[in-house]
Amino acid sequence: MIVAGRITNSWPAWDAEHKYIWTHYNLTVSSAVKGSPGAVVEFAEPGGALDGRSTMIAGTVTYAVGDNLVLFLARMPNGYLRTTGWAQGKYALDANGRLHANASLGAEAIQANSPSGASSVRTLDGMSITELRQRVAARLSAGVNQGKVQ
Report how far residue 142's alpha carbon sits from residue 4's, in angstroms, rounded to the nearest whole number.
23
Looking at residue 124, what is its pLDDT? 86
pLDDT at 86: 87
Count the Cβ atoms, other than its own, within 10 Å of residue 109.
Answer: 15
User: Does residue 40 sit in helix, strand or coil?
Assistant: strand
Task: Note the pLDDT of residue 116.
Answer: 43
Chain centre distance of CA 56: 19
- Spans of all domains in the chain: 2-147
With 70 as the cut, is the pLDDT of residue 2 above it? yes
pLDDT band, residue 101 (cuts 50/70/90): confident
pTM of the predicted model as reported, rounded to 2 decimal places = 0.81
Distance between CA atoms of residues 140 and 56, nearest Å: 36
* SS3 call for 83: strand
Can you say whether the dihedral through the CA atoms of 141, 145, 149, 150 is positive or negative?
negative
